Structure 1
Amino acid sequence: MMSPARKRMRYAAPLLVVALTATVGCAEPETTSNEPAAPEFPRAETLYTGGSQWGPPTSWNPLSGGDDATGVRGLLYEPLYLFDPWTAELEPWLAEQSDWVEDDVYELTLRQGIEWSDGTPMTADDVVFTVELGRIDGMPYADVFDWLDEVVALDDHTVRFTFSDPRRGEWDNFLTSHHIVPEHLWSRLSEEDVPTHTNHDNPVGSGAYLYHSHTEDRMVWERNDDWWGTEALDLEMRPRYVIDVVNASNEIAFRQIVQNQLDLSNFFLPGIEQTVAEQEAVATFYPEEPYMLSANTAYLVPNTTRAPLDDPEFRRALAFSIDVSAIVEQVYGGIVRAADPTGLLPTWDDYVDDAVVAEFGFEYDPSEAEEILAAAGYSDTTGDGYVETPDGSQIELSLIVPDGWSDWNEAAFVIADGAREAGISLAVDFPANSTLNDRRNAGEFDLIIDNRTPLTNTPWSTYRFLFNMPIRDSQPEFNAGRYENPEAWQLTQGLARMSVGDPGFQETMSALQEITLRELPAIPMWYNGAWSQVNHSTWTNWPSDDDDTPNHYPVTWGGYWDMGAIYMLAELEPVTGG
């Protein structure tokens, strides 16, 4: 998987400027290393994007786990299904149809007429080969064979999957998040080379775009005019070129989106709400708060192996002490939303159990926090303004957030202020990101902020983040708070065995929500935004909340092409004379 540091950059990039005023847009254009270098790329046919790639493109391997250049997954290589975050449904893509023909057998029919960009037909053997690569140590999806027994091609377009443990929800996640590669080329590699292969030499995919070129500061894709989807899906990509730009700072990105050097910015740009209000060419998905769609949930994660954070009542008091509205308005300027108490993203609103939230939910209320502490035996016996544990031990907690992540640094101060108001001694510390990652993985912390809960096709991924067991010496991906609850983990595994909406799905969701709110293994605070700012000067008909425009997620981060962003490229309209 991509490193936590890299993922964090994609969702809330380190803030190198506190704010830029709209007067930036009136400045003379500056020559930077990131300006479009264009006679080769006609501006009216070229879409410039940025906000996903934070270093020179070096890999075109869709199987590497996240270090691939922007567009490798989605533009060059494609999944079997897309996931629509608006309907929470899977949409056939490379696959034409599929079904569970038995409780433990799934059959999939590949579309006919799909060709790789070298002219070789795509067949069921390519699908089998790609899935079987998961048997190689070091592959991001090696765990699929913990519950998948066998995959075979029944004919050129039909694949049968037989499961030892039919995890339907997890399987849906696999279908939408992994990309098919051509057997006739990748079978030439040794098992050791597959996970690390850069695939640099003229990569061959099935997607709507082809590798054109790259430099240290950009990745250039060129439209595949022979793409199978033009006929099969009636989709014609509008930009001939898509150029993803590597930027060194938010300040450069801010200037570029205002000056039409970027058409789509997926950078975190604080102050963008002022620019949107004052400059007609620049827009966000929503024209007013919250401006952005929601991408992931920011949690306050307590180390539940340390007292008093091992006490659910103390965690509950902490939840009532957090002034999330102050974080939303003062730290973010209204470009994020307060999270639902369940932590579930808006895609799953229909599955939030309102009765459970009404009984066990929380909101900012310092007085309530104080009452919870008192009822649980926490009192200020020394007169210093801070409570001690029921046995009289002093409480001195620390919240660590990576140095330089200014939005989270500022949010940490708001959290600490609220805790102290409720009588909880809480200090903040800003270690280097690498140091924080090591401490988080080893469980050497009191409190952290963690947002590794990206939008996926199933809320199972959220509960895996919260409840994953067993607890190991190092916890690099899930359950950083080391919370142990066998019942919750059993329910989470049950959710993995269900597709969204299956019988029992809502019952399991309600049970998990109740445990989450009663126990608070992590405290949901706000939704980090799917940062997206667009400029209408060259391209228009951008996705937005307006009924007259598409409503796809206008985001280039890994995975979002496969959640409908690919449609955006077919629905953009060039501005006459742009």
Structure 2
Amino acid sequence: MKRNWVVLITLLAAIFLAACSSGGTSSEPNNENSNKGASGGEDVLTYASLSDAVGLSPILTNDGASANITDHVYEKLFERNGETMEIEPQLAESYENPDENTWTIKLKQGIKFHDGTPFNAEAVKYTFDKLRDPATAAPRASLMEPVDSITVIDEYTVEIKTKYPYGPFLASLSHSNAAIVSPEADQTQDLMNKPVGTGPFKFVSWVPGDQIVLEANPDYRDGEPALKKVIFKVVPEVSTAISMLQAGEVQFIDKLPTEQLSRIESMKNVAIEKVDGTPQYFLSVNHSKEISKDPEFRKAIASAIDRDAFISKMNGLAVRSDSVIGPKVFGYKESADKAGTPYDLEAAKALVEKNGYGQQTLKLLAANRGTFILMAEVVQAQLTEAGFNVEIETMEWAAYLDTTLAGDYDLTFLSWSNLTGDGSELLYPNFHSDNVGSSNRSQYNNPEFDKLVEASRTTTNQEERLEILNQANELMLEDDAVVIMYHDVVTAALDASFTGLKLEPTGKWNVSEVTRK
């Protein structure tokens, strides 16, 4: 009898457990609805980053992975409005120009850094002085190159004098690398590993090669973000990141690859966002080579490129415009959209045959990432059809940067993100002769063009700057200095249960206003 009771109890327990395990709540993740972040909390958003940050100090870094994080921890005096593309105050309250070389900036009051120390004029002076100090060796010290002196007028007023009138100054101050750091924190700890700013999120932890965690700043002046944590998860392979997005293991990816766009669009749990952007990609001859100094050689190259054929392969992730200064960059005029040399295969063939351009092999250098390979394959085929003899050489990113810097190529593809959204800060670093051997990888050298770019930088009259930049733009197009392949469409894919992502034309994004639906 006792044995029968044991059997009965065992049987009832088995039935109870079976009922529990077969109900409507499963322990298995639902691929379309598992949106709670890596730590399982609904207030957590995990972003898949293709590379780890280099460091977390805006003064000492200049890479996208680092900036994605520092942009949420730190703030700048000014920022560019992603919709209007106008410069607006962020930590600044207002500014005045008593004269062309003086910028008097009033700061917002009552703001504290994450370490509890006050944000004030002394912090601004400290940050900018360190950024421009040669001993710092800041990667973007050039942002402060025009600055002659920085003076604290009172606790919330700073006066900056420039060596010459500098039109893009506010755009420079809106750059990620011009963010204001806590002086006390910078003097007592390593901001590269433990950042301290005034932004909507505070630093929590960093496991190199794995992830960086930020948490909401409860004292943020615009209110505590709805997201309690943001995790930057290192996922080196984009296909893996997409799979993790589909499975709900991450909730956010950006820079969607053209070839996998249809896969992402088919995911029911994902919303895709797109905005026309400031980044651009262009084909350039090596202007230091003797053959490239021949205007008919450059004309033949430009005439042979069918940009529309390439754009059609981009699945809507490219803006077609001949203009060197893109539609989202200050200095652009619509008249430049079709001002470049048009596609004319017969004209290209005639120039190649006339000058014997097909008798030598041209090395077309391309980085082995993103759309560079696709551009190389399309352009090689088009130039070959025109009679050129072109060989593609691909390199990993670091080697490609070194090679283009050294000018060891005949033709190459280059890109520029235009983070300031200002035409002067596009044309000067990329094409002014001052920067041949550094950021001017095209080796372009045109004295008339140089004068126009200098004029665009040394006036604070924005209407004048617009006209001068347009003249410089048109000169480059007449010169066939480069062939613009496309202006970028900035993309992101966000788990559909979240909303409020701010995706900027510069490729930047901000999750401080993201909420769960």
Report the TM range for the smaller structure's normalisation.
Answer: 0.7 to 0.9
* Worse-superposed segment, 311-320 or 360-369: 360-369
Mapping of 1:473-512 within 5 angstroms?
Answer: 475-477=437-439, 479-498=440-459, 502-512=462-472
Which sections of structure 2, spanning at least 5 residues, go unmatched? Answer: 1-27
Mapping of 1:17-36 within 5 angstroms?
Answer: none
Which residue of the partner structure matches residue 383 of structure 1?
A: none
* Alpha carbons 1:398, 1:429 under 8 Å: kept: yes
Deviations 1:477-504 (A, max 9, x none): 2x212121112112112212345x7231
Indicate how the Cα distance of structure 1 residues 141 and 110 shifts in structure 2: closer, same or farther if over 3 A, else same: same
Q: Distance in 2 between matches of 1:349 and 1:152?
A: 29
Mapping of 1:103-252 within 5 angstroms?
Answer: 103-133=100-130, 134-137=132-135, 138-143=137-142, 146-177=145-176, 178-187=178-187, 197-201=190-194, 203-215=195-207, 216-230=209-223, 236-252=224-240
Matched, 1:534 2:494: yes
1:188 deviation in Å? 5.1
Which residue of the partner structure matches residue 569 of structure 1?
A: 512
Within the candidate set 340, 358, 362, 2:341 is matched to 362
Matched, 1:553 2:499: no
Indicate how the Cα distance of structure 1 residues 353 and 37 shifts in structure 2: closer, same or farther if over 3 A, else same: closer
Which residue of the partner structure matches residue 419 of structure 1?
A: 383
1:260 deviation in Å? 2.4
Q: Distance in 2 between matches of 1:260 and 1:507?
A: 49
* Alpha carbons 2:327, 2:334 under 8 Å: kept: no
* Alpha carbons 1:78, 1:207 under 8 Å: kept: yes
* Alpha carbons 2:302, 2:342 under 8 Å: kept: yes
Matched, 1:310 2:270: no
Query: Which is bigger in relative contact order (C-alpha 8 A, separation at least 6)?
Result: 1
Matched, 1:397 2:393: no
Indicate how the Cα distance of structure 1 residues 227 and 299 shifts in structure 2: closer, same or farther if over 3 A, else same: same
The TM-score, its normalising length taken from structure 2, stands at: 0.85
Which residue of the partner structure matches residue 336 of structure 1?
A: 318
1:58 deviation in Å? 5.8
Deviations 1:265-317 (A, max 9, x none): 0143344432354333323224xxxxx53341111011112232222232122
1:125 deviation in Å? 0.6
Q: Distance in 1 between matches of 2:311 and 2:337?
A: 21
Indicate how the Cα distance of structure 1 residues 509 and 59 shifts in structure 2: closer, same or farther if over 3 A, else same: closer
* Alpha carbons 1:466, 1:521 under 8 Å: kept: no
Partner-residue secondary structure (3-state), 1:120 = coil
Matched, 1:520 2:503: no
* Worse-superposed segment, 146-155 or 317-326: 317-326
* Alpha carbons 1:209, 1:222 under 8 Å: kept: yes
Within the candidate set 237, 257, 270, 1:269 is matched to 257
Indicate how the Cα distance of structure 1 residues 183 and 573 shifts in structure 2: closer, same or farther if over 3 A, else same: closer
Q: Distance in 1 between matches of 2:104 and 2:81?
A: 22
Deviations 1:109-151 (A, max 9, x none): 1101101112222111111111111123312343456432211
Aligned letter for 2:344?
Answer: D
Deviations 1:505-543 (A, max 9, x none): 23202211221111122211112342311220x313556
* Alpha carbons 2:80, 2:174 under 8 Å: kept: no
Q: Distance in 2 between matches of 1:357 and 1:407?
A: 22
Aligned letter for 2:340?
Answer: G
Q: Distance in 1 between matches of 2:505 and 2:392?
A: 35
Indicate how the Cα distance of structure 1 residues 343 and 283 shifts in structure 2: closer, same or farther if over 3 A, else same: farther
Q: Distance in 2 between matches of 1:482 and 1:428?
A: 20
Partner-residue secondary structure (3-state), 1:569 = coil
Aligned letter for 2:86?
Answer: E
Partner-residue secondary structure (3-state), 1:423 = coil
Q: Distance in 2 between matches of 1:342 and 1:102?
A: 33
Indicate how the Cα distance of structure 1 residues 460 and 534 shifts in structure 2: closer, same or farther if over 3 A, else same: same
Partner-residue secondary structure (3-state), 1:132 = helix
Partner-residue secondary structure (3-state), 2:481 = coil
Q: Distance in 2 between matches of 1:37 and 1:106?
A: 44
Partner-residue secondary structure (3-state), 1:149 = strand
Matched, 1:347 2:328: yes
**Percent of aligned pairs with the same amino acid:** 21
Within the candidate set 391, 399, 402, 1:435 is matched to 399
Q: Distance in 2 between matches of 1:135 and 1:264?
A: 37
Q: Distance in 1 between matches of 2:473 and 2:370?
A: 31
Q: Distance in 2 between matches of 1:267 and 1:72?
A: 16
Q: Distance in 2 between matches of 1:463 and 1:471?
A: 10
Within the candidate set 85, 88, 96, 1:99 is matched to 96
Indicate how the Cα distance of structure 1 residues 199 and 526 shifts in structure 2: closer, same or farther if over 3 A, else same: closer
Q: Distance in 1 between matches of 2:30 and 2:356?
A: 57
Q: Distance in 2 between matches of 1:279 and 1:188?
A: 47
Indicate how the Cα distance of structure 1 residues 540 and 353 shifts in structure 2: closer, same or farther if over 3 A, else same: closer
The TM-score, its normalising length taken from structure 1, stands at: 0.76
* Alpha carbons 2:202, 2:214 under 8 Å: kept: yes
Q: Distance in 2 between matches of 1:531 and 1:357?
A: 23
Deviations 1:80-114 (A, max 9, x none): 11112432211111101111112211100110110
Partner-residue secondary structure (3-state), 2:98 = strand
* Alpha carbons 1:62, 1:72 under 8 Å: kept: no
Deviations 1:178-235 (A, max 9, x none): 111122232458xxxxxxx45435x3221111112232311111000111233xxxxx
* Alpha carbons 1:135, 1:145 under 8 Å: kept: no
Deviations 1:26-79 (A, max 9, x none): xx9799xxx9885xx44310111123x513x46321211225745442211110
Indicate how the Cα distance of structure 1 residues 86 and 364 shifts in structure 2: closer, same or farther if over 3 A, else same: farther
1:351 deviation in Å? 3.2
Aligned letter for 1:344?
Answer: I
Q: Distance in 2 between matches of 1:542 and 1:455?
A: 18
Q: Which has the higher helix share?
A: 2
* Alpha carbons 2:272, 2:493 under 8 Å: kept: yes
Partner-residue secondary structure (3-state), 1:503 = helix
Which sections of structure 1, spanning at least 5 residues, go unmatched? Answer: 1-27, 190-196, 231-235, 287-291, 381-386, 544-551
How many aligned residue pairs are there?
A: 482
Indicate how the Cα distance of structure 1 residues 249 and 388 shifts in structure 2: closer, same or farther if over 3 A, else same: same
Partner-residue secondary structure (3-state), 2:70 = coil
Q: Distance in 2 between matches of 1:264 and 1:250?
A: 12
Larger Rg: 2
RMSD (Å) for aligned C-alpha atoms = 2.9
1:325 deviation in Å? 2.8
Which residue of the partner structure matches residue 388 of structure 1?
A: 356
Q: Distance in 2 between matches of 1:429 and 1:144?
A: 34
Q: Distance in 1 between matches of 2:120 and 2:76?
A: 14
